[in-house]
Amino acid sequence: MNVAAGHGASVRVENCGKTFADGTRALEPATLDIARGETLVLLGPSGCGKTSMLRIIAGLELPDPGGRVLFDDKDMTAVPIEQRNVGMVFQSYALFPNMSVADNIGYGLKIRGIGREERARRVAELVALTNISGLENRRIEQLSGGQRQRVALARAVAIRPGILLLDEPLTALDAALRDRLRGELNRLLRALGITTIYVTHDQSEAMELGDRIVVMQKGSIAQIGTPREIYFAPKNRFVAEFIGAANIIESPVENGHLVLPGGRQPIGGDANLAAAVAMIRPETIRVVEAEAAPLKGIIDSVSFIGDRQRMIVSGASSKPLTLDAPNTVKAQAGERIGLSIAPEAVRLLPPGS
Amino acid sequence: MRDRLIFTGQLIFTLLVAAFLVVPAILSISAGVTVNYFQGIRSGVTLQWVFQVWDLYAGTIGLSFVIAIATLAVTLVVGVPAAYALHVRGGRLSRIVEEIITLPLAIPGLAIALALLLTYGSFSEFRRSWLFILTGHVIFTMPFMVRSVMAVFATIDVRTLDEGAASLGASPWRRFFDVIVPNAVPGILAGSLMVVTLSLGEFNLTWMLHTPLTKTLPIGLADSYASMRLEVASAYTLIFFVMIIPLLVAMQMFADKEQAR
């Protein structure tokens, strides 16, 4: 399969907002371009508008007047979902209880008038692809959550959709299964190479699956970027705190240094600011000898996690700092330590964001 | 010992209650095959009354089944889509419509019949045909179909099922017949059972709406009680039992099978 070229359609969402009948604004007018074969993740807390965006792209909701949805530059705004050739995986899976697993997977093919033999062949292919061999004749209520998830995915891709839409497909599963299926799903999406739009509130899912991530907040887009961009260069405080762990520090900047209670932290350059908001990721803070360090603090607590240990250090900044130290560092609560942070690890965020 | 006593006591009580309910039915049925009810079973056993009823009232029995099946057909064709529409639309308007559909349950059958007569009595063709009785039966049984189908819809997420089928390319009609109806089968069966039995046994409305040429089984029964020997009316009851019980059992078995799947 030619993965690099990508399959399916490109998507353009143009100025699409959504206001419900009762007047609540679910989505501020937003514009998005999704390339052919790309996996785009819509990420945000519940009520951020990500599901509305997905449902508009699917054709399950109409955007407010003025909004347009284009597939491969063709205006699809008024086309109902059944004519958009999209595959969709619902959070509750929406599997048909009156049909067997095989009939569920083959339903879209049956609708398209594909003959019994061809249908059986395609269903067998998908059953193998999604690792559910042996379950073909089961009824839906006899399946576990993970099996249902796979059937839903197989059913959605069986019709060879131009666009695959997934609405929190792993949320209904327990944590261990979620991690395993996330890996499987990732391999499958890469292998299929279909344009995929994936909605989730789980940032690790977004990081692993997305070519690009759209972080959404209160109905509007906070940032669009690759997982790396979003993680290392968040545009504002919301994105910084939503993705991974972040220390947000408010302090004045003097001659290129954050002026903190525990010392002066260089941030590169020689800027002077009366008030700045800075972000420092916990894994970029190193524990060093207190004497020589520019920044000093006292350990509040140490939690040994296994692959690393998480420390809370007070006194260095106005609020306690969280840092991840290697699991070999020996330190105890109450100990006075020095902190070393590379200037480029400190990222200034727009104030008031 | 004490447990045994309690058990025996409960058993006797249950049997007495059951007997209280069953004995009248047995007496009534046995009267239908007795030569002379006032002399009792000593007078001999006969099927002559049954044959006599059949000769006199076969038409009413046939008409009852025609009306029951037609009522079922109408309530299915109208009631199932209506239940779906009411469920999916939701909101205040749906609640009001649901209440209006249910209203005939609270109104005496005689009042409904009177309203129908006042409104349509002058359409003499319609008034004289069995379709007039059908109209009354549909009004009376519709809530049972709509309610039991809606009860099933409330337990499954039909909206998402419908969206799922739509995403796979199915048109609204395909979705309705492939996904919505099959998943509503338990409710449709329960509703059908109610509609058929209620229609077969309906008396109040039918008594007001019938003409001498459009008598149903219960009307014939009342007629025979009023104008014939007790044995004839009892034989009539016997025929009613024989017809309706297999029907009830069959539908119940079908419903059980569906549930067990």
Distance of residue A230 Cα from the nearest chain B Cα, in angstroms? 32
The answer to whether the Cβ–Cβ distance between B170 and A88 falls below 8 Å is no
Mean of pLDDT values over A100-118 = 93
The pLDDT, as a whole number, for residue A192 is: 84
Give the DSSP letter string of B108-146: -HHHHHHHHHHHHTT-HHHHHSTHHHHHHHHHHHHHHHH
Q: Does residue B6 lie in a domain region? A: no
- The residue in chain A having the minimum alpha-carbon distance to the alpha carbon of residue B161 is A94
CATH number, domain of B92, equals 1.10.3720.10
Task: Please report residues of A whose CB lies closer than 8 A to that of B161.
Answer: 94, 96
Question: Domains of chain A, with CATH numbers?
Answer: 11-241 (3.40.50.300), 246-349 (2.40.50.140)
Taking contacts as CB-CB distances below 8 angstroms, the residues of chain A near B157 are: 92, 94
Closest chain B residue by Cα to residue A87: B167
Mean pLDDT of all residues belonging to chain A:
89
In a domain, B10, yes or no: no
Band (A47; pLDDT cuts 50, 70, 90): confident
Q: Among partner residues B164, B169, B182, which is closest to A90 by beta-carbon distance? A: B164
In this structure, are residues A265 and A258 in contact, taking their beta carbons and an 8 Å threshold?
yes
Check residue A181 and give its pLDDT. Answer: 86
Residue of B nearest to A105 (CA): B168
CB contact under 8 A, B164 and A94: yes
From the list B157, B167, B261, the residue facing A58 with the nearest CB is: B167
pTM: 0.80
Is residue B8 in some structural domain? Answer: no
Percent of chain A whose predicted confidence (pLDDT) is above 70 = 97
Do the Cβ atoms of A107 and B261 come within 8 Å? Answer: no
In this structure, is residue B113 part of a structural domain?
yes
Judge whether B43 lies within some domain.
no
Q: Which one of A83, A91, A107 would you mutate to disrupt binding with B, by most B Cβ within 10 Å of its Cβ?
A: A107
Region B196-206: what's the mean pLDDT? 87
For the segment A191-237, what is each residue's pLDDT rounded down to a tens digit? 888 899 999 999 989 999 999 999 999 999 999 999 999 999 999 99
Place of tokens 């559910």: A132
Asked if residue A1 has pLDDT above 60, the reply is no
Q: What mean pLDDT is predicted for residues B202-222? A: 83
CB pair distance less than 8 Å for A155 and B168:
yes
Query: Mean pLDDT lowest for which of A54-58, A337-341, B64-68, B253-257?
Result: B253-257
By CA distance, what is A103's nearest residue in B?
A: B178
Range of the domain at B194: 48-260
Total number of domains in chain B = 1
Examine residue B216 and state whether it is found in any structural domain, yes or no. yes
Who has greater pLDDT, A125 or A2?
A: A125
DSSP-derived letter for residue B175 is H
What pLDDT score does A198 carry?
A: 94
Q: Above 60 in pLDDT, residue A2?
A: no
**Is the predicted pLDDT of residue A270 greater than 50, yes or no?**
yes
d(CA A66, CA B147): 41
Q: What is the pLDDT of residues A235-251, one digit of tens each?
A: 999 999 999 889 999 99
What is the C-alpha separation between A195 and B205, in angstroms, rounded? 62
- Position B257 pLDDT exceeds 80: no
Distance (Å) from the alpha carbon of B69 to chain A's nearest alpha carbon: 26
All residues at 6 or more sequence positions from A160 whose CB lies less than 8 Å from its CB, including other chains: none
Chain A neighbors of B185, CB-CB under 8 A? 98
Average pLDDT over all residues of chain B: 86
**Structure confidence by residue, pLDDT tens digits, A3-42:** 334 468 999 999 999 998 888 889 999 999 999 989 999 9
pLDDT in tens, B55-101: 877 888 888 889 999 999 999 999 999 999 999 888 888 889 888 88
| Interchain proximity B164–A97, CB inside 8 Å | no
Q: Per-residue pLDDT tens for A120-170?
A: 999 999 998 888 888 989 999 999 988 999 999 999 999 989 999 999 988
Residues of B in contact with A81 (CB under 8 A): 163, 166-167
* pLDDT for res A352: 67
Residue B194 pLDDT class (50, 70, 90 cuts): confident
In a domain, B38, yes or no: no
Query: What's residue B260's pLDDT?
Result: 62
Residue ranges of chain A whose CB lies within 8 Å of a chain B CB: 58, 60, 80-83, 85-88, 90, 92-98, 107-108, 111-112, 139, 155-156, 159, 165
| A108 or A330, greater pLDDT | A108
- Residue A14 to residues A67, A164, B119, B202: CA-CA distances in angstroms? 6, 19, 57, 61
Residue A278 has pLDDT above 60, yes or no: yes
Considering only CB atoms, A94 lies closest to which of B161, B171, B261, namely B161
Instruction: Count contacts between A and B (CB, < 8 Å).
Output: 62
Residue B35 lies in a domain: no
Checking if the pLDDT of B51 tops 90, the result is no
